Amino acid sequence: MNLNQDQNSEETNNTEKLNSGDNKIDAQSIETEDKYKFGWSSYSEITNGRFAMLGFVAIILIEIFSKKSFLSWAGIF
């Protein structure tokens, strides 16, 4: 067996272990990679979601420390 066949057999064994019992995981979810792709992709959506969460936390912290609403703090309202 060469190295490639060893890796394939290990992945098959790992998939079988994960699928045993109540945990059902398909092979596609195991093989996903975090690579940048232009346009609408899962990587872009995850990154945008993380930045949105950071922005939301920043707005809440601004309101807590300044004791003003974000809109009045920013001079919008």
Q: pLDDT tens for residues 12-46?
A: 555 555 555 556 666 655 655 666 677 788 888 89
The Cα–Cα gap between 25 and 47 comes to 24
Which residues, 6 or more positions from 14, have their beta carbon under 8 angstroms from its beta carbon? Answer: 30
Residues in the chain: 77
Residues 70 and 62: beta-carbon distance below 8 Å? yes
Which residues, 6 or more positions from 9, have their beta carbon under 8 angstroms from its beta carbon? Answer: 1
What is the average pLDDT value for the chain, to the nearest integer? 75
> Given pLDDT bands bounded at 50, 70 and 90, which one contains residue 56?
very high
Q: What percent of the chain has pLDDT over 70?
A: 52
